[in-house]
Amino acid sequence: MRALLLLLSLSGSAAVANNELNAPRARQVPSPRLSTSPVQPILKYAATLQEKTGAVQFPFQGGNIFKELCSIYLQFKECTKSVSCHSISITAVDASYGYMCGAGYQLFEDHSACFAEIEREQTYIACKNAASDAMEEATKAKRDDLEAYFQRLCSVMDEYLRCCRPLVNRRCGPEAWDLVSQVTMDSLQVTMPTCEIRKSLM
């Protein structure tokens, strides 16, 4: 499951950058606090996990964190149901967690044990470490050139997917990889719509 949640972490970074890119326009929307505050519980939970592990990605131990994230997502949905203005942060969270915590919940639960086993394998650890290092390098470009940052994030995503795909397919089966693919595409369509990674998913 850590493999999936690292993808969501990368996508979340893109959503934050998108907000910064569109900041002048966002300031024209009345009550902007409404468009960001509902996202804070998910971001806070992610930050807490990152602080505890010292890593860029989310850890996954059994099904507990998966269930906790979905519980927070349901609270998020309740909190944002009255928000009428457009928010890329809200849309991105929906895209990232809507299927995983909705129609695909049982499938994710069925495969969660296998995803958890994969995270302990050296092959996956190498993929994760490479992606984490590359993401840190990409962050250095964020301050000076957001376009370059987006391009690098897309490249990191592509390389990470190509690295993980054989392992997930071999150990957990094609259905598990289909879950990874769907969540990835749903999320990227919102956060990085110009990022073309279909070949790395096939």
User: How far apart are the C-alpha atoms of 193 and 186, rounded to whole Å?
Assistant: 10
pLDDT on residue 116:
83
- Give the amino acid at 165: R
User: How far apart are the C-alpha atoms of 15 and 170, rounded to whole Å?
Assistant: 31
pTM of the entire structure? 0.71
- Tell the burial category of 145 from Cβ atoms under 10 Å away from its Cβ (0-12, 13-18, 19+): exposed
**Can you read off the two tokens belonging to residue 99?**
């299927």
Q: What is the chain's pLDDT, residue by residue, as a tens digit (202 residues)?
A: 555 555 555 555 555 555 555 544 444 443 333 334 444 555 555 555 444 444 434 333 445 667 778 888 888 888 888 888 887 778 888 888 888 889 988 988 888 888 888 888 999 899 989 988 988 888 887 777 888 888 888 898 899 999 999 999 999 999 999 988 888 888 888 888 888 888 888 7
Between CA 80 and CA 86, with CA 83 as vertex, the angle to 5 degrees is 110
pLDDT on residue 28:
40
